[in-house]
Amino acid sequence: MHVILVTGGAGFIGSNFVLNWLANQQEPVVVLDKLTYAGNPDNLAHYQNDPRLQLVVGDIGDRALVEGLLSQHQPRAVLNFAAESHVDRSIHGPADFIETNIVSTFSLLESVRGYWQNLAEPARQAFRFLHVSTDEVYGSLSDTAPAFTEQHRYEPNSPYSASKAASDHLVRAWHHTYGLPVLTTNCSNNYGPYHFPEKLIPLMILNALNGKALPVYGDGKNVRDWLYVVDHCRAIERVLAAGQVGETYNVGGCNEKTNLEVVHTLCDILDELQPRADGASYREQIRFVQDRPGHDRRYAIDASKIIEQLGWTPQESFETGIRKTVEWYLSHPEWVEKVQSGAYREWLGKQYAE
Ligand code: NAD
Ligand code: TYD
């Protein structure tokens, strides 16, 4: 029986990937996750007694641990979701981003290279290292510029995107120099269940329900392309199964929205599903606040390569996906309660003090 190793599998996208994988396949998964503030074993609770899932708490930069896991489980693939992922946190404190996204990714690549080089054929031929990255490495687009293709040059603007860009370059180099069979995906903004509420969509849902301000940065006209997380997970499965070694694939939802449009949509769905006691709209809680430094204006993904070459398409529209997401937060009060811990409240105090 084959096995896959998923790093960062207790985070938002990683846990959705693992849940989706175990629901649809027999192949076991070993999750390696450091359980930072963003990692949450509760996300995987549904499979906690399933022998196909093993959660190992540790750092991708721990050579001894990673090499031990590789040698013990002999995975046919390593999927790297582990990262520091929040732009605002990278502005307050870039060091963790440099450490995990660059230094520890380098260490992971070295561990994996050593393992892969010693595999016997045909396992060596079949092995894949799939690196999950972001569209933010391409920088910011004007309102009318064409969407990012895989050929777009790297122009990262935040400490987060610069650290992800560096990791993408390392992955590329480990393929070109050492022949490591890598695949890279660059995805747009994900949303859906288990999203840690520091990011726009879950933050707005929870702030609305808690009667707090809905803090929209700047003029609210920054544009993001939104992809339902399960569609992203399906894309990663497809790239793992059929992607060409050494290639990168852009993944997007074809759902460009301004932040204000997103917040309005969330307010309207909440007005319908859980109206405010006073009958007013949640839109009344919207507040325009100081802009994020260096705030990228627009991201847009041209996903034609993965659509045409690998036959992937998103199944969820923004309208269906965002409704499912709000419904998920309303129907999981225990998860919501637990993630709003002291550390989370500390972050809100730091970021939204004014
Ligand atoms: P997340 O912050 O929710 O989860 C990251 C996970 O990685 C957490 O479980 C954390 O504990 C773990 N982790 C952090 N440092 C680690 C380390 N050194 N060793 C082991 N585990 C570690 O992030 P996410 O939103 O799930 O993003 C997953 C990946 O997808 C990241 O690489 C991110 O850059 C990329 N991405 C995210 C989005 C998005 O919209 N969220 C979009 C495109 C790409
Ligand atoms: P975010 O979810 O942090 O993702 P990213 O910065 O990686 O795209 O933010 C999405 C957009 O929402 C981004 O343009 C910043 C904006 N935003 C706000 O306006 N208010 C907020 O409180 C947050 C967290 C984000």
Is ligand 1 within 6 A of the CB of residue 8? Answer: yes
Angle at 91 (CA atoms; ends 88, 93), nearest 5 degrees: 110
Q: Any catalytic annotation for residue 217?
A: no
Ligand nearest to the CA of 199: 2
**Nearest alpha carbon, ligand 1 atom 19:** 59
Three-class secondary structure of residue 111 per DSSP: helix
Contact 210, 143 (CB under 8 A): no
The pLDDT tens digits along the chain (354 residues) read 899 999 999 999 999 999 999 999 999 999 999 999 999 999 999 999 999 999 999 999 999 999 999 999 999 999 999 999 999 999 999 999 999 999 999 999 999 999 999 999 999 999 999 999 999 999 999 999 999 999 999 999 999 999 999 999 999 999 999 999 999 999 999 999 999 999 999 999 999 999 999 999 999 999 999 999 999 999 999 999 999 999 999 999 999 999 999 999 999 999 999 999 999 999 999 999 999 999 999 999 999 999 999 999 999 999 999 999 999 999 999 999 999 988 899 999 999 986
Q: Which one, of 56, 55, 32, 51, lies nearest residue 112 by Cα?
A: 32
User: What is the whole-number distance in angstroms between the Cα of residue 113 and the centre of ligand 2?
Assistant: 36
Per the structure block, which two tokens stand in for 207?
Answer: 């702030």
Contact 171, 246 (CB under 8 A): no
Domain that holds residue 60: 4-192+227-256+298-316
Residue 147 lies in a domain: yes
Residue 321 lies in a domain: no
Q: Any catalytic annotation for residue 135?
A: yes
Tens-place pLDDT, residues 2-56: 999 999 999 999 999 999 999 999 999 999 999 999 999 999 999 999 999 999 9
Helices 259-273 & 200-209, crossing angle to 10 degrees? 40
- Residue 240: CB atoms within 10 A of its CB come to 17
Per the structure block, which two tokens stand in for 169?
Answer: 């370059």
Three-class secondary structure of residue 55 per DSSP: strand
- Residue 73: CB atoms within 10 A of its CB come to 17
**Nearest alpha carbon, ligand 1 atom 37:** 134
Q: Which one, of 109, 265, 239, 245, lies nearest residue 187 by Cα?
A: 239
Is ligand 1 within 6 A of the CB of residue 82? Answer: yes
Q: Which amino acid is at 176?
A: H
Residue 286 lies in a domain: no
Identify the CATH number of the domain in which residue 88 sits: 3.40.50.720
Predicted pLDDT of residue 354: 63
User: What is the whole-number distance in angstroms between the Cα of residue 6 and the centre of ligand 2?
Assistant: 26
Peptide bond before 122: cis, by omega within 30 degrees of 0? yes
Split into its structural domains, the chain has a count of 1
User: Which atom of ligand 1 lies closest to the CA of 60?
Assistant: 19
Residue 27 lies in a domain: yes
| Residue recorded with tokens 């963790």 | 96
DSSP 41: G
Q: Any catalytic annotation for residue 296?
A: no
Per the structure block, which two tokens stand in for 7?
Answer: 């790093």
Q: Which amino acid is at 53?
A: L
Distance of alpha carbon 269 from alpha carbon 265, whole angstroms: 6
Residue 210 lies in a domain: no
Residue 205 lies in a domain: no
Predicted pLDDT of residue 328: 98
Residue 219 lies in a domain: no
User: What is the whole-number distance in angstroms between the Cα of residue 211 and the centre of ligand 2?
Assistant: 20
Residue 347 lies in a domain: no
Cβ contacts of residue 284 below 8 Å, gap of 6+?
none
Distance of alpha carbon 338 from alpha carbon 193, whole angstroms: 15
User: What is the whole-number distance in angstroms between the Cα of residue 13 and the centre of ligand 1?
Assistant: 7
Is ligand 1 within 6 A of the CB of residue 107? Answer: no
